[in-house]
Amino acid sequence: MKINSAEFIISNQDVSKCPSNRLPEYAFIGRSNVGKSSLINMLTDFKSLAKTSGRPGKTQLINHFLINKNWYLVDLPGYGYARVSKSSKAKFQKFITKYFEQREQLVCGFVLVDVRHEPQKIDLEFMEYLGESGIPFSIIFTKADKLKPNALERNVEHYKKVMLDGLWEEIPPYFVTSSTNKAGRDEVLAYIDEINQN
Ligand code: GTP
Ligand code: MG
């Protein structure tokens, strides 16, 4: 799929203030610093569409980006970042779970996990939460450029095994990506395109 246009539309913490047209949307969620905003820039090929930072906690709001005037990519704040203020220290911030539960035009959540790390409890918990809530999701492994091919494959296989040994009977669709070298870009865009066509 070719990206012809990508425009920032609105940021807020209030699901009811998100765009009210019924265009389909895809939301990026995961731990702070995992690379959600970078992935949005990589997929759209617009370098500074979404704000990124080396320090966790950069994205604090729900951000809607309109793509090809036809669907949205949604950048969300990270979870699992200890330094967020005490009032938002709930494991998953309320407005984020509200977004997932109330946003009917959300067609798929992408849960991002850093491919270098052991499966993290908080990510597995968030996927469990999505599964229990009946919200479709896929997994995106990020920062693939940081590992050699063998280690990359080993880590992905390990992740799948941990899920299958846990409560998952099958592995959701998953993608291995790098915002640095654009690995996985065509696959993620083709997947979105296919859903949009149906
Ligand atoms: P929050 O908004 O804080 O939740 O973080 P985020 O998940 O949006 O992460 P962000 O895109 O801001 O990236 C965090 C850091 O990781 C930045 O320093 C990025 O340059 C770096 N980064 C993101 N993706 C990749 C990747 O694929 N490869 C490498 N090497 N670095 C990456
Ligand atoms: Mg971000």
User: What's the confidence (pLDDT) of residue 19?
Assistant: 96
Per-position DSSP letters for 52-119, written without gaps between them: --SSS----SEEEEEETTTEEEEE---B--TTS-GGG-SSS-HHHHHHHHH-TTEEEEEEEEETTSPP
Nearest CA to ligand 1 atom 17: 54
Domains and CATH numbers, the chain: 6-197 (3.40.50.300)
Condensed to tens digits (0 to 9), the pLDDT of residues 65-74 reads 999 999 999 9
Indicate whether 85 pLDDT > 80: no
Kindly give the distance from the C-alpha atom of residue 143 to the centroid of ligand 2, in angstroms, as a whole number: 14
Nearest CA to ligand 1 atom 12: 52
Residue 45 near residue 38, CB atoms below 8 Å:
no
Please state, for a pLDDT cut of 90, what percent of the chain lies above it: 86
Condensed to tens digits (0 to 9), the pLDDT of residues 38-55 reads 999 999 999 899 999 998
Condensed to tens digits (0 to 9), the pLDDT of residues 144-192 reads 999 999 999 999 999 999 999 998 999 999 999 999 999 999 999 999 9
Range with the poorest average pLDDT among 91-95, 129-133, 134-138:
91-95
Indicate whether 131 pLDDT > 70: yes
Ligand 1 atom nearest the C-alpha of 30 is: 7
57 pLDDT band, cuts 50/70/90, is confident
Nearest CA to ligand 1 atom 5: 33
Ligand 1 in contact with 32 (CB < 6 A)?
A: yes
